[in-house]
Amino acid sequence: MSSKIVSGLLLFGFAQIQSVVGCGDAPGHVHSLRARQPPPTIPPSRPLEWGDINIIQTTDTHGWLLGHQKTSFPEPNYSADLGDFASFVTHMKEIALEKDVDILLVDSGDLHDGTGLSDGFPPGGVDGRESNEFLKQLPYDVMAIGNHELYIYNITRDMHENFAPALKGRYLSSNVNITITDEGNNTRDVPVGSRFAKFKTRKGRSVTALGVMFEFTGNDHDTTVQKVADMVEEPWFLEAIRDEPDIFLLAGHMPVARDKWPVVFDAIRAVHPTTPILIAGGHSHIRDCLQLDGRSISLQSGRYMETIGWMSAKLNVDKTKNITFSRRYLDANRVTYEFHTKKKNATFDTPRGLAIRQGLEDLVKKFNLDFLYGTAPQDYKVSGAPYPSNGSILSLFAEQAVPVALAINNTRADIPSYLIIQGGSLRYDIFAGPFTKNDQLTASPFTNAFVFIAGVPLRVAMEVLPILNGDAPAPAGVNKRRANDDDLYARGEVESMYRAWLEDMYRNHLEEMLRARSVAEDQNQNQNLTLGYVTQDACPGIGDDIPHTPLQVFPLPDVISSQPPKVATNDSLIDFVFSDFIQPDVLDALNAVQKDRVFTNGDVESYSPFLFKDVLGLFAQEVWN
């Protein structure tokens, strides 16, 4: 089959019957037609519960504005694009008008780093600037900053100057500042967005909104993240919460469980013991819900535009009684959207939704995201396959792709080398079929560099891996940064939390199967279910909008390696290659496992001009063509 005509990729629309056609463009591009038939997904079984005030939440979208367009499940569950979502929001607002209730649209941060739409910009551009233009077109009532808006100063500055103004005071960064230089060459620390917002809903209800970041330490220079306990002591905070609104809305980039939301909650409760508090959290990429008391609810709606969160509150005048809340996790696809808006395919799309879809398709072409590197022979999973294995993307990356990519135009390619990198460098699965520039950036969007130390005995280099993974006792002085340590969490690592959640969901499912009256009965009950999220949270009732069979997940190490080189002995000297992200850990471990040499940053050199995000494309061009 010619590389010009390849079936199996659907960049636009939803994952369903597809038609890929040739065109007059240069070779090496994949073009798709948006299919007319709906994806093979299960419709919801029950309508949403509406209250007096209702919230649609997104969080951790990370550039996934095209939706998930691969045919391997669970991808079709999340196949709606931002144009579909915009149409859904429009129709939900119309329903709210008919019901004469309030509805708010809220986002809890992390718009950058994840797909080609955000990360595929040409040299000289700014990550997320053009993809964020489409988010501006949605009627968000409140948005909060995320940690991925803070890794690079230019991104933070772009959010401050070009994005926040579009929200007209409702892009919130309560405890996040940026240092800017004004026209008089004076430096000032100012909020990236606004510290808080006060507004009234359509029904006249007063809202006081805050946008709180978890205590992130991986931010770039000239940005600051204040500790939450210090923030709630600030005069501006105390002034902001002094007057009682009808509702406090806390939309922030912080998990709703096991983080600092109770600090903010308790500070508000000390002044307003009974005021309804709605919390829209984020960051850890999971579906979650809990209630800190009977007059509050906290919701977190996953990641990557896979889940749209819904929560509603039926307000009552009697402040001594609990408030009736509901929550739902919606699979982001057209079937879901049409069910809840009671629209059909012919009447669902709105002019705004269609315009956004066309704009996204134009951006794909502008960024060359449909450029075809090669054809993946199978699916490669991040946590859906054991590591190491032939189906693991971690094995593919470290053992095959990196050695091939880094050998290109490398004067040290003939010198034996051994590589270790963080397992979290692979962000998403690769699916069988055409592998494009967009797929490359989706699987690994990171700009980490490959560095090395020359002349390290292979035996010594191989002792570093088990120490960093915690599989061997750490010598004195070595700070083992395990994936669930506070240090890594503070620097923004969340994949281990997401995987642990998946493992819990799968384990709970197995336990329920064992409790079932018979395995045959359970299999009969679940035979028509597709793979997807199966959520158990701390709120009453069932949160998932659609029942699924849970994803099986496998444990992953913090650090992975290439295969050891074939050398004369384990004492042979090799190039020890690693990621600059783990450089401090590697140096600590090297100095702990041997005393013949003291390794410092001065021993570390650049190994290749290629970055993490380049590797899979280079490999596919070499091997998958």
Phi, psi of 199 (to 5 degrees): -155, 170
Q: What is the CA radius of gyration of the chain?
A: 25
Amino acid making up residue 43: P
pLDDT the model gives residue 613? 92
The domain at 38-366 falls in which architecture? 4-Layer Sandwich (3.60)
Q: What would the mean pLDDT of 73-80 be, rounded to a whole number? A: 94
- The pLDDT-based confidence of 526 (bands split at 50, 70, 90) is low
> Is pLDDT above 60 for 482?
no
Q: Find all residues with CB under 8 Å of 164, minimum gap 6, and list them.
A: 171, 192, 193, 194
- The pLDDT-based confidence of 487 (bands split at 50, 70, 90) is confident
For 96-155, how does the pLDDT look when each residue is reduced to its tens digit (9 = 90+)? 999 999 999 999 999 999 999 999 999 999 999 999 999 999 999 999 999 999 999 999
Phi, psi of 591 (to 5 degrees): -75, -20
Nearest to 556 by CA among 457, 494, 483, 615: 483
In terms of phi and psi (left: phi > 0; alpha: psi -120 to 50; beta: otherwise), the region of 577 is: beta
> Is pLDDT above 60 for 519?
no
Q: How far apart are CA 600 and CA 582, in angstroms?
A: 14
Burial 379-403 (b: 16+ CB within 10 A, else e): bbbbbbbbbbeebbbbbbbbbebbb
Nearest to 50 by CA among 106, 93, 107: 93
For 541-583, how does the pLDDT look when each residue is reduced to its tens digit (9 = 90+)? 999 999 999 998 998 898 999 999 999 999 999 999 999 989 9
For 246-305, how does the pLDDT look when each residue is reduced to its tens digit (9 = 90+)? 999 999 999 999 999 999 999 999 999 999 999 999 999 999 999 999 999 999 999 999
Total-model pTM: 0.89
For 31-69, how does the pLDDT look when each residue is reduced to its tens digit (9 = 90+)? 453 434 445 789 998 999 999 999 999 999 999 999 999
> Is pLDDT above 80 for 518?
no
Pair of tokens at residue 500: 């642990």
pLDDT the model gives residue 268? 98
- The pLDDT-based confidence of 475 (bands split at 50, 70, 90) is low
- DSSP letters along 200-269, please? E-TT--EEEEE--B-----PPTTEEE--HHHHTTSHHHHHHTTS--SEEEEE-BS-SSSSSHHHHHHHHH
pLDDT the model gives residue 558? 87
Phi, psi of 209 (to 5 degrees): -115, 140
Q: Where are the domains of the chain?
A: 38-366, 374-482+558-623, 495-550
- The pLDDT-based confidence of 521 (bands split at 50, 70, 90) is low
Q: What would the mean pLDDT of 164-191 be, rounded to a whole number? A: 95
Of 221 and 8, the structure prediction assigns the larger pLDDT to 221
pLDDT the model gives residue 25? 45
Burial class (CB in 10 A: 0-12, 13-18, 19+), 477: exposed
Q: What would the mean pLDDT of 333-351 be, rounded to a whole number? A: 96
pLDDT the model gives residue 183? 83
SS3 (DSSP) at 61: coil
> Is pLDDT above 70 for 4?
no
pLDDT the model gives residue 246? 97
Q: Find all residues with CB under 8 Å of 510, minimum gap 6, and list them.
A: none
Of 479 and 556, the structure prediction assigns the larger pLDDT to 556
Average pLDDT over the chain reads: 90
- Quick check: 537 and 289 in contact, CB under 8 A? yes
pLDDT the model gives residue 17? 26
pLDDT the model gives residue 39? 52
- The pLDDT-based confidence of 23 (bands split at 50, 70, 90) is very low
pLDDT the model gives residue 470? 85
pLDDT the model gives residue 3? 31
Pair of tokens at residue 459: 């035996």
SS3 (DSSP) at 274: coil
In CATH terms, the superfamily for domain 374-482+558-623 is 5'-Nucleotidase, C-terminal domain (3.90.780.10)
Percent of the chain with pLDDT over 90: 80
pLDDT the model gives residue 445? 85
For 456-472, how does the pLDDT look when each residue is reduced to its tens digit (9 = 90+)? 999 999 999 999 998 87
Percent of the chain with pLDDT over 70: 90
pLDDT the model gives residue 419? 97
Burial class (CB in 10 A: 0-12, 13-18, 19+), 525: exposed
- Quick check: 58 and 310 in contact, CB under 8 A? no
